[in-house]
């Protein structure tokens, strides 16, 4: 009925726009309600804004539907206009909820003022250019309340929507378009009422339906990644009210200058006056805000300066030329200057000349006029040295920051005295690269220095010397670690005196020292002379250590030195050069010490082979690649087998490895201890089995120094005897004479403990070592074994024959069993029998054999246990 009435009253164009508006509004309302249900699962805020927009669309549609019925009523503002106005406000509220950034600043007053200024400016422009001539000709006044309120709502929402993030901005823009078209439509309707025309043109009337259709599509558009609006857009939005005021002012001024055809209506002065009042309020509050910000800035500056001064910093303000404008009072306590004598002076006059360019560059970078310059700095840190009033230079750390003040581009500098920190860093660096005992550079410094010299000078005229103090191992145990450190410091002074001043002497570690000869290598011109110079230095170092004893703890300690020399070569890195010198020093130590060895390529190859051999030995122990062979010991008078000597054999991958090739490596690496324990258990078990077969046979086994001094060695022998059931008297342990001289006290104590168990002891290779006859009294020895070097000369060397005879007679006089080793010729056997030697072994008697061979030999040559006395 409403549409029919509209058709009769207003004509076809009004009906078309009304129908289109109602249909589009209903479509938008339904779409927005459904979209709010979908959006509720992702965003409660978006769902709420869509519901408000839907309620606004429904209310507006109701107003449009009843407007034809309300036209012609005597009221200035009809109930249809109220519905349209309420719908418009609901749409504005919904579109405002799509934005999260407040418009026109952060305060409510600024928000309201900005919205009013925008609406008043736009109304003024429309009034001057369009509305004033129309309303001047109107027969009776028409209310502009509805379009003005719509305009206020649009201006209040527009900035917030334009500054919103996407995707919220999409729904907000569609709602804003609806508000704008509604405002235009309301103005057109008011104009139509004033001129008694049929209504707004069809094009204008169709704007609102189109906008509602766009609004209906927004809930179903694909969501995009949320992005903040650009800062430039925010600035434009915040400045739009003032820009509109300026445009309105220009329009009014131009219109007034061009001549006003109508009389001045009272509406325009009221609007202009209200705009001026709002602007004054904004200026007033802006002034208050500026004053507050200035006070906050000054308070913050005072607190910053006070905080820096309380922290012990000197705070000063300088211009871009370094001229001191202000300076704190702490400068007097820190540097001895009064603030009065420094103000007006340039700061560069109190800095070290080497540090001035850095501060000048920092000041230029912070005071450049081009704010967009990439070189412009806001703050920087500068390390410098400051001259104090007493003339000393104090290291300082300064932080410079921009400090604009009253159109001056100044710089605030906070300076802290870091003398204590620098001294501490220097001390830490010294301790990091120097030895605390001798004061010499340490290993880290020596390695770094070697790399540096080799990188800059190459291999020419460069060598490394390694020094090891022979015999230092027992110093700490005999006189204590403190006295040992004192001895090392004395040795360091002697070595320092023997080394050239331009060479680097360092303590490598323990009792080892290293020298870097920066002009004594083998390269360059005069290579032979330079090489000889390095060797001469190495010999001087040996003499410096061994020339006289060291006086430590009221006693004299004599030491010698083993020295290795390695010359730099092209392509050899610093690490390998140092390693080569160490290898040469180790070689000199192996050859007896107190000598100089020059590195040769085969030395490193020997070390590598020894390491590989040690690894192979360890794997062989796990894989049980070792075997035990036995060499019989016979009674020379009866040819009866009395004992067997256990000998280890290694079959590596089916190939036989001679004992002399691996026993030394086993001793050096300590693998001789587990290997010796395995041989002991295996041999005891085998000999105990033979004795269980009623054969009177003993076991002889060689021991090394490392085996005897190993922890729980005595307990290991006792456990092997208990496990195998072999009597202790059937086991003879052999040691060489040198073991009774080196570490004599510990070795004799261990062997005495074994002797107390009933184990027999023998001295192997007797006559070739340094043992004195007094040791035979200290250690109850049961047997001596003549070294094969004496036996080999029997019958062809009268001296060796005489010495052998003497040893046999000595053994008899001491009541010892004498065993001759290395019997290989018949004449040797006859002479030994003639001398009265009781027992012997060698290839002529019997070669080493496996257990099966010994078993066969026992069945023919051994005496059963029951037949022995």
Q: In terms of pLDDT, which residue wins out, 15 or 686?
A: 686
Residues making up the chain, counted from first to last: 869
Are residues 83 and 230 part of one domain? yes
Among candidate residues 228, 214, 255, the one with its CA nearest the CA of residue 131: 255
Are residues 161 and 36 part of one domain? yes
Identify whether 802 is part of a domain. Answer: yes
Provide mean pLDDT across the span 163-176: 62
Q: Choose the weakest-confidence range: 121-130, 490-499, 846-855.
A: 121-130
Are residues 404 and 365 part of one domain? yes
Identify whether 606 is part of a domain. Answer: no
pLDDT digits (tens, 9 = 90+) for 394-453: 898 888 887 776 667 788 888 888 888 888 888 887 778 888 888 899 999 999 999 988
Structure tokens at 220: 């179903």
CB-count exposure of residue 793 (10 Å: 0-12, 13-18, 19+): middle
Residue 561: the pLDDT is 92
Residue 96: the pLDDT is 64
pLDDT digits (tens, 9 = 90+) for 812-868: 888 889 999 999 999 989 999 999 899 999 998 888 988 888 888 877 765 444 333
Identify whether 197 is part of a domain. Answer: yes
Are residues 667 and 633 part of one domain? yes
CATH number of the CATH domain containing 587: 3.30.70.270
Provide mean pLDDT across the span 317-335: 83
Residue 24: the pLDDT is 73
pLDDT digits (tens, 9 = 90+) for 658-673: 888 788 878 877 888 8
Are residues 630 and 513 part of one domain? no
pLDDT digits (tens, 9 = 90+) for 91-115: 666 666 665 544 444 466 676 777 7
pLDDT digits (tens, 9 = 90+) for 272-302: 677 777 777 777 767 777 777 777 666 666 6
End position of a domain, from candidates 402, 423, 444: 423
Q: In terms of pLDDT, which residue wins out, 59 or 201?
A: 59
Phi-psi sector, 419: left (phi>0), alpha (psi -120 to 50), beta: alpha
Reduced DSSP (H G I as helix, E B as strand, rest coil) percent helix, strand, coil of the chain, to 5? 60, 15, 25
Q: Which of 39-48, 215-224, 247-256, 571-580 has maximum average pLDDT?
A: 571-580
- Spacing of C-alpha 45 from chain mean position: 46
Percentage of the chain lying above the pLDDT 70 cut: 70
Q: Choose the weakest-confidence range: 119-128, 201-210, 237-246.
A: 201-210
Provide mean pLDDT across the span 310-327: 79
In the chain, the number of structural domains is 4
Residue 97: the pLDDT is 63
Residue 3: the pLDDT is 38
Residue 694: the pLDDT is 79
Identify whether 455 is part of a domain. Answer: no
For residue 586, pLDDT beyond 80? yes
pLDDT digits (tens, 9 = 90+) for 257-266: 776 655 456 6
Rounded to the nearest 10 degrees, how much is the dihedral formed by the CA atoms of 35, 37, 38, 40? 120
Are residues 464 and 563 part of one domain? yes
- Residue 127 DSSP one-character state: I
End position of a domain, from candidates 564, 599, 634: 599
pLDDT digits (tens, 9 = 90+) for 597-638: 888 877 767 677 777 777 888 888 887 888 899 999 998 988
Q: Choose the weakest-confidence range: 285-289, 521-525, 595-599, 718-722.
A: 521-525
Identify whether 315 is part of a domain. Answer: yes
Which phi and psi (to 5°) does residue 467 adopt? -125, 130
Among candidate residues 26, 32, 171, the one with its CA nearest the CA of residue 100: 171
Residue 469: the pLDDT is 92
Which phi and psi (to 5°) does residue 408 adopt? -110, 135
CATH number of the CATH domain containing 336: 3.30.450.20
Are residues 818 and 735 part of one domain? yes
Are residues 545 and 489 part of one domain? yes
For residue 563, pLDDT beyond 80? yes
Provide mean pLDDT across the span 507-522: 81
Provide mean pLDDT across the span 347-370: 80
Are residues 481 and 415 part of one domain? no
For residue 869, pLDDT beyond 80? no
Alpha helices by DSSP H, 196-266: 202-205, 207-217, 231-258
Residue 87: the pLDDT is 67
End position of a domain, from candidates 547, 572, 599: 599
Contacts 24+ apart (CB under 8 A), 499-507: 499/537, 499/541, 500/537, 504/441, 504/446, 504/449, 505/440, 505/441, 506/435, 506/440, 506/441, 506/442, 506/443, 506/445, 506/446, 507/435, 507/437, 507/438, 507/440, 507/441, 507/442, 507/443
Identify whether 836 is part of a domain. Answer: yes
Q: In terms of pLDDT, which residue wins out, 559 or 406?
A: 559
Residue 643: the pLDDT is 92
Identify whether 440 is part of a domain. Answer: no
pLDDT digits (tens, 9 = 90+) for 750-809: 888 888 889 999 988 887 765 556 566 667 788 989 888 888 888 888 888 888 898 899
Q: In terms of pLDDT, which residue wins out, 734 or 230?
A: 734
Are residues 480 and 373 part of one domain? no
Are residues 570 and 467 part of one domain? yes
Q: How far apart are CA 222 and CA 211, in angstroms?
A: 19
For residue 364, pLDDT beyond 60? yes
Q: Choose the weakest-confidence range: 244-248, 349-353, 485-489.
A: 244-248
The mean of the pLDDT values for the chain is: 77
Q: In terms of pLDDT, which residue wins out, 66 or 323?
A: 323
Are residues 618 and 593 part of one domain? no
Identify whether 296 is part of a domain. Answer: no
Domain span including residue 100: 2-281
Residue 9: the pLDDT is 42
């Amino acid at each position: 009925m409403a549409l029919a009435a509209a058709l009769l009253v207003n004509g076809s164009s009004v009906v078309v726009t009304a129908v289109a508006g109602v249909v589009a509004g209903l479509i938008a309302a339904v779409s927005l309600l459904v979209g709010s249900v979908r959006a509720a699962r992702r965003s409660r805020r978006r769902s709420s804004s869509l519901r408000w927009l839907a309620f606004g669309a429904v209310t507006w549609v109701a107003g449009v539907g009843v407007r034809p019925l309300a036209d012609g009523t005597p009221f200035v503002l009809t109930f249809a206009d109220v519905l349209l106005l309420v719908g418009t406000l609901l749409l504005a509220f919904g579109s405002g909820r799509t934005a999260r950034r407040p418009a026109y600043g952060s305060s409510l007053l600024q928000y309201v003022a900005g919205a009013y200024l925008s609406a008043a400016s736009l109304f003024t422009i429309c009034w001057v250019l369009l509305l004033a001539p129309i309303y001047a000709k109107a027969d009776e006044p028409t209310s502009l309340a509805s379009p003005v309120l719509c305009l206020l709502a649009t201006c209040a929402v527009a900035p917030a929507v334009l500054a919103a993030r996407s995707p919220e901005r999409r729904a907000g823009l569609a709602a804003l378009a609806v508000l704008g078209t509604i405002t235009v439509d309301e103005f057109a309707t008011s104009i139509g009422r004033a001129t008694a025309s049929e209504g707004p043109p069809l094009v204008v009337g169709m704007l609102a339906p189109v906008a509602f259709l766009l609004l209906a599509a927004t809930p179903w558009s694909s969501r995009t990644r949320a992005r903040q609006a650009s800062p430039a857009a925010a600035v434009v939005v915040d400045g739009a009210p003032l820009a509109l005021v300026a445009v309105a002012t220009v329009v009014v001024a131009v219109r007034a200058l061009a001549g006003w055809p109508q009389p001045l209506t009272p509406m325009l002065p009221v609007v202009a006056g209200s705009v001026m009042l709002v602007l004054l309020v904004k200026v007033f509050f802006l002034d208050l805000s500026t004053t507050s910000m200035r006070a906050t800035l000054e308070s913050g500056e005072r607190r910053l300066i006070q905080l820096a001064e309380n922290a012990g910093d000197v705070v000063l303000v300088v211009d871009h030329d370094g001229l001191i404008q202000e300076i704190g009072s702490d400068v007097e306590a820190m540097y001895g200057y009064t603030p009065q004598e420094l103000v007006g002076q340039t700061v560069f006059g109190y800095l070290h000349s080497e540090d001035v360019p850095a501060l000048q560059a920092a000041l230029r970078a912070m005071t450049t006029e081009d704010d967009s310059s990439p070189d412009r700095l806001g703050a920087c840190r500068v390390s410098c040295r400051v001259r104090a009033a007493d003339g000393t230079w104090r290291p300082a750390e300064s932080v410079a920051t921009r400090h604009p003040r009253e159109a001056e581009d100044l710089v605030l500098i906070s300076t802290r005295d870091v003398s204590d920190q620098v001294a501490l860093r220097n001390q830490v660096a010294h301790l990091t690269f120097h030895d605390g005992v001798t004061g010499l550079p340490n290993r880290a410094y020596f390695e770094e220095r070697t790399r540096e010299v080799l990188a800059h000078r190459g291999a020419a005229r460069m060598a490394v010397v390694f020094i090891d103090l022979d015999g230092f191992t027992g110093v700490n145990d005999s006189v204590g670690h403190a006295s040992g450190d004192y001895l090392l410091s004395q040795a360091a002074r002697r070595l320092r005196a023997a080394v050239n001043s331009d060479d680097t002497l360092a303590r490598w570690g323990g009792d080892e020292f290293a020298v870097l000869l920066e002009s004594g290598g083998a390269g360059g011109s005069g290579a032979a002379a330079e090489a000889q110079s390095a060797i001469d230095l190495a010999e001087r170092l040996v003499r410096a250590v061994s020339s006289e004893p060291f006086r430590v703890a009221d006693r004299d300690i004599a030491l010698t030195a083993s020295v290795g020399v390695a010359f730099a070569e092209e392509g050899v890195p610093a690490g390998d050069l140092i390693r080569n010198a160490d290898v040469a020093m180790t070689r000199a130590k192996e050859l007896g010490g107190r000598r100089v060895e020059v590195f040769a390529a085969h030395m490193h190859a020997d070390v590598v082979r020894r390491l590989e051999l040690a690894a192979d030995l360890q794997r062989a122990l796990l894989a049980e690649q070792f075997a035990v062979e036995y060499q019989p010991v016979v009674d020379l008078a009866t040819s009866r087998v009395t004992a067997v000597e256990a000998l280890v054999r290694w079959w590596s991958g089916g190939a036989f490895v001679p004992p002399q090739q691996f026993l030394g490596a086993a001793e050096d690496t300590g693998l001789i201890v587990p290997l010796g324990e395995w041989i002991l258990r295996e041999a005891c078990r085998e000999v105990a089995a033979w004795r269980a077969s009623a054969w009177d046979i003993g076991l002889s086994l060689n021991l090394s120094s490392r085996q005897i001094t190993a922890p729980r060695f005595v307990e290991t022998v006792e456990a092997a005897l208990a496990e195998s059931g072999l009597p202790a008297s059937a086991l003879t342990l052999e040691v060489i004479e040198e073991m009774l001289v080196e570490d004599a006290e510990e070795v004799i104590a261990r062997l005495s403990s074994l002797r107390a168990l009933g184990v027999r002891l023998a001295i192997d290779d007797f006559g070739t070592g340094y043992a004195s006859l007094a040791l035979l009294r200290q250690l109850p020895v049961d047997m001596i074994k003549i070294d094969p070097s004496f036996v080999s000369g029997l019958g062809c060397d009268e001296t060796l024959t005489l010495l052998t005879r003497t040893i046999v007679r000595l053994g008899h006089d001491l009541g010892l069993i004498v065993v001759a080793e290395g019997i290989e010729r018949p004449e040797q056997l006859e002479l030994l029998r003639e001398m009265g030697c009781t027992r012997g072994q060698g290839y002529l008697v019997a070669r080493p054999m496996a257990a099966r061979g010994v078993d066969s030999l026992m069945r023919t040559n051994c005496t059963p246990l029951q037949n022995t006395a």
